[in-house]
């Protein structure tokens, strides 16, 4: 069994990683010996120590160091750094950096009452979806379609002082 310690300042951005560790604990794959959820420092950062290997999960949305979207102290602390907004530019400068992957908020169900209230809120459109609602076997179709939604910006179009993103000219 792997020994794990977790440190973070709670944020919805890192809920899926915390929940993932808690599920591994529930199934006796890991032992969580300590959880410190009162650390100071960068937002949206989860520090995990797994059998002495230090891992950082950075869910900040951006790769700009000067705008605090990347945590140098956490990078210096870790052996491996997973970044939500991974970029080649960042990877070239910080070789321990790896892409974090798809990010969505999840919320565990703690009991019958939570489950019932969550279902009522979900029907009313007021509750976030469960993690297993986002993971399903695809239905094969003769006319497949893909819907992809995201917010994008041109990373090169940033002002000198990086305090704002300049709009792209319309074509």
Question: What are 30-82's pLDDT values in tens digits?
Answer: 999 999 987 777 788 999 999 999 999 999 887 777 666 788 899 999 999 99
> Which tokens belong to 97?
């950096």
Q: How far apart are CA 163 and CA 121, in angstroms?
A: 38
- What pLDDT score does 137 carry? 73
Domain ranges (residues) in the chain: 2-102
The backbone torsions φ and ψ at residue 33, rounded to the nearest 5 degrees and listed phi first, read -85, -20
**Among candidate residues 59, 99, 108, 49, the one with its CA nearest the CA of residue 79:** 49
Q: How far apart are CA 36 and CA 31, in angstroms?
A: 15
Asked whether the CA dihedral 88, 149, 125, 114 is positive or negative, the reply is negative
Model confidence pLDDT, tens digit, residues 101-149: 777 666 665 656 666 777 777 777 766 666 666 666 777 788 877 777 7
> Which tokens belong to 45?
């950062």
9, pLDDT greater than 80: yes
Whole-number CA gyration radius for the chain: 19
Tell me the whole-structure pTM to 2 decimals. Answer: 0.66
């Amino acid at each position: 069994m792997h020994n794990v310690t977790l440190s973070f300042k709670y944020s919805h951005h890192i809920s899926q990683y915390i929940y993932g560790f808690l599920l591994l604990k529930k199934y006796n794959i890991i032992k969580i010996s300590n959880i410190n959820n009162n650390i100071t420092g960068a937002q949206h950062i989860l520090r995990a120590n797994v059998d002495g290997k230090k891992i950082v999960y950075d869910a900040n949305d951006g790769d700009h160091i000067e705008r605090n979207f990347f945590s140098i102290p956490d990078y210096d602390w870790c052996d491996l750094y997973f970044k939500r907004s991974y970029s080649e530019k960042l990877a070239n400068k910080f070789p321990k950096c790896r892409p974090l992957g798809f990010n969505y908020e999840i919320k565990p169900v703690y009991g019958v009452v939570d489950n019932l209230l969550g279902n009522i809120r979900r029907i009313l459109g007021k509750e976030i979806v469960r993690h297993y609602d986002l993971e399903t076997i695809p239905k094969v179709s003769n006319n497949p379609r893909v819907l992809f939604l995201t917010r994008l910006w041109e990373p090169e179009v940033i002002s000198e002082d990086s305090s704002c993103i300049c709009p792209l000219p319309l074509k």
